[in-house]
């Protein structure tokens, strides 16, 4: 998922990766799964953009069975070092299936495999979508893209109609009693001892604790819904990608993540993912989700987004530092922490200013009480 | 004993050569990796040169909270230990709720100055971006 330096272009195809032996095993397995008489796999090379999963472009020629024909696909496999927030390929396949069934523009999931005898790691195969995905390329044009933001809002609204009782999602972790408290627990575990050495992370965690909203409805969240994780062709959305962090949570969480400064790719004034205003995204969301956007709750989840991205960046850096997966890209991602922290502080400043304005307006509107209200952290 | 150019000079010339003589000829599929190498060398150079300056900036940033004087004589590990001790103390106070009601403006100023001092090494462009 996250590139170490989003200003750099995505990795180009790196050549064929399946050898004759593994391709032959894959073809045999696919023939059985597709109920076909024969399947031929052509390896079109490794695709970029995945620091957690490994993506290969494949062409399947299926002879016989219900899926007979030629299919441009992507094989998505677990990489060497999975990070804590990732749900694994079998669950990701279940999420993708639920989203696709709900009408979300997700790549159609075709086959999933947890037999280590086929390729080794768990993997699944989905249909390949066309379009540009790299964040800087998507936000490049001088004109904002309100229609694209609105469509992304509609898509997110469709996804958020999926609830924990949807069939096929039993593989996911139990829905949390309180999403804010659950994430806070995860963040504390992921950030660990650094919260006693880095005061910005300490303040972010404290802010999340003091301002945690009570639980509301629980829906299926994407948890990495942002510019850079969807494909656009001729200005139109073609597919939403990277479902490996999905789970049940607060519907405002995905909106906060989408609007975080980290994913605006230097278009900081286009608060919806560097492409348009929040109002465009929110309007699309309200069209399909059946609920209103709660800006205050979105702001809470945006704070959580910076802490979560910081924790992920730290883990990516550790994958390199511990020797588990030596990689310059992972090492540089670990060095992004101060940048993420600056974004967090700017967001908290803006929230504090909003809260101060609200308090001033409330004070003007009501006569002074005997006991002045306690100032909240904000 | 070392007689040639020091580590700083080696890093400088390596980066200049990479940018001027290598990057323009790198094949497209290797360009991303080459740019990451240049970025890593850049960060390493700034860290070698700016580590103490960054530490002093952090002590100054924390002075409004703890009244510590910036001691220009401190350097290297000693300076790092001082900064770590101050940051640890602040973390404990934050977690204990000391800033839940009062002092948030002073705290935010200090935190921003700390992060800015670290960004000077990690990503100077991000230190200058407006709110």
Task: Indicate the residue of A200, A210, A349 with minimum beta-carbon distance to B114.
Answer: A200
Looking at the structure of chain B, the number of domains it has is 1
Chain A residues closer than 8 Å to B122 by CB: 335-339
What separation in angstroms does the CA of A73 have from each of A55, A125, A242, A372, B10?
Answer: 10, 7, 15, 63, 47
**Residue B13 falls inside a structural domain:** yes
- B32 contacts A13? CB cut-off 8 A: no
Q: How close B3 gets to chain A, by Cα (Å)?
A: 31
In sequence order, the 6+-apart residues with CB closer than 8 A to the CB of A351 are A299, A303, A378
Q: What is the CA radius of gyration of chain A?
A: 22
Q: Note the pLDDT tens digit of each residue in A316-373.
A: 999 999 998 899 999 999 999 999 999 999 999 999 999 889 888 888 887 665 555 5
Q: Is residue B45 part of a domain?
A: yes
Distance from CA of B1 to the nearest CA of A (A): 31
Q: Is A202's Cβ below 8 Å from some Cβ in B? A: yes
Cβ-Cβ contacts under 8 Å between A and B: the total is 110
pLDDT tens, residue by residue, B90-131? 999 999 999 999 999 999 999 999 999 999 999 988 877 544
ipTM, two decimals: 0.92
Which of A329, A339, A349 lies at the smallest CB-CB distance from B108?
A349
Instruction: Evaluate whether A378 touches A355 at the Cβ level (below 8 Å).
Output: yes
Contact A202 B112 (CB under 8 A): no
Q: Report yes or no on B70 lying in a domain.
A: yes
**CB nearest to B112's CB, from A337, A345, A350:** A345
> Does any domain span residue B68?
yes
- The residues, ordered by sequence, that sit 6+ positions from A105 with a Cβ below 8 Å of its Cβ are A155, A237, A238, A239, A240
> Residue A76 gets which letter from DSSP?
E
pLDDT per residue as tens digits for the range A267-314? 999 999 999 999 999 999 999 999 999 999 999 999 999 999 999 999
**By the CB < 8 Å criterion, does B19 face chain A?**
no
Show which of residues 262-291 on chain A sit within 8 Å of chain B, judged by CB atoms. 268
**Structural domain boundaries, residue B37:** 7-122
Asked if A149 and A277 count as a contact pair (C-beta separation under 8 A), the reply is yes
Chain B CB within 8 Å of residue A321 CB? no
Contact residues on chain A for B96, CB-CB shorter than 8 A: none
CB contact under 8 A, B129 and A375: no
- The rounded distance, in Å, linking the Cα atoms of A196 and A189 is 12
Q: Which residues of B touch A345 (CB under 8 A)?
A: 108, 111-112, 115
pTM of the entire structure? 0.89
Question: Chain A within 8 Å of B67 (Cβ-Cβ)?
Answer: no
In this structure, whether the domain defined by A135-359 belongs to CATH 3.90.1200.10 is answered with: yes
Would an 8 Å CB–CB cutoff place A374 in contact with chain B? Answer: yes
CB B45 within 8 A of CB B11: yes
Q: How close B46 gets to chain A, by Cα (Å)?
A: 13
Sequence ranges of the domains in chain A? 20-127, 135-359
The string of pLDDT tens digits covering residues B49-74 is 988 889 999 999 998 998 766 677 88
Query: Which CATH superfamily hosts domain A20-127?
Result: Phosphorylase Kinase; domain 1 (3.30.200.20)
Segment A219-240 mean pLDDT: 96
Backbone angles phi, psi at A73, to 5 degrees: -135, 170
Residues of B in contact with A329 (CB under 8 A): 36
Q: Which chain B residues are within 8 Å of A335, Cβ to Cβ?
A: 43, 122
């Amino acid at each position: 998922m996250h590139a170490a330096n989003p200003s750099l272009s995505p990795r180009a195809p790196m050549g064929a990766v399946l050898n004759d032996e593994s391709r032959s095993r894959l073809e045999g397995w696919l023939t059985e799964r597709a109920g076909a008489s024969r399947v031929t796999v052509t390896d079109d090379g490794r695709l970029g953009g995945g620091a957690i999963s490994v993506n290969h472009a494949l062409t399947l020629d299926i002879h016989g069975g219900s899926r007979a024909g030629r299919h441009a696909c992507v094989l998505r496999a677990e990489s060497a070092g999975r990070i804590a927030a990732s749900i694994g390929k079998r669950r990701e396949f279940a999420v993708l299936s639920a989203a696709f069934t709900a009408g979300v523009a997700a790549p159609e999931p075709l086959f999933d495999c947890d037999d280590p005898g086929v390729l080794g790691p768990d993997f699944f195969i989905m249909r390949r979508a066309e379009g540009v995905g790299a964040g800087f390329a998507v936000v490049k044009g001088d004109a904002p893209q309100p229609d694209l933001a609105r469509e992304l809002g509609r898509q997110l609204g469709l996804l958020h109609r999926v609830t924990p009782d949807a069939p096929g999602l039993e593989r996911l972790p139990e829905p949390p009693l309180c999403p804010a408290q659950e994430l806070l627990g995860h963040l504390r575990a992921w950030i660990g001892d650094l919260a006693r050495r880095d005061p910005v992370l300490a303040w972010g965690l404290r802010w999340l604790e003091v301002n945690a909203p009570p639980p509301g409805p629980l829906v299926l969240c994407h948890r990495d819904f942002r510019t850079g994780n969807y494909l656009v062709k001729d200005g139109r959305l073609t597919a939403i990608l990277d479902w490996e962090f999905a789970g049940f949570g607060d519907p405002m969480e995905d909106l906060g993540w989408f609007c975080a400064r980290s994913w605006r790719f230097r278009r900081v004034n286009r608060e919806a993912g560097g492409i348009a205003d929040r109002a465009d995204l929110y309007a699309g969301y309200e069209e399909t989700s059946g609920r209103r956007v709660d800006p205050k709750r979105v702001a809470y989840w945006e704070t959580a987004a910076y802490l979560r991205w910081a924790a992920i960046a730290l883990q990516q850096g550790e994958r390199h530092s511990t020797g588990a997966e030596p990689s310059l890209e992972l090492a540089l991602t670990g060095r992004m922490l101060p940048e993420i922290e600056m974004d967090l502080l700017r967001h908290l400043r803006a929230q504090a200013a909003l809260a101060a304005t609200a308090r001033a307006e409330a004070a003007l509107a009501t006569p002074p009480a005997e006991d002045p209200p306690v100032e909240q952290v904000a | 004993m070392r007689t040639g150019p020091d580590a700083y000079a080696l890093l400088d010339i390596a980066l200049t050569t990479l940018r001027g003589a290598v990057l323009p000829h790198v094949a497209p599929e290797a360009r991303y990796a080459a740019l990451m190498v240049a970025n890593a060398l850049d960060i390493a150079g700034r860290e070698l040169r700016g580590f103490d300056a960054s530490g002093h900036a952090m002590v100054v940033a924390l002075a409004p909270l703890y009244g510590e004087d910036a001691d220009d004589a401190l350097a290297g590990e000693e300076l790092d230990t001082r900064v770590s001790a101050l940051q640890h103390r602040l973390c404990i106070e934050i977690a204990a709720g000391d800033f839940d009601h009062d002092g948030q403006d002073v705290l935010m100023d200090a935190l921003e100055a700390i992060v800015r001092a670290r960004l000077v090494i990690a990503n100077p462009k991000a230190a200058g971006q407006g709110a």
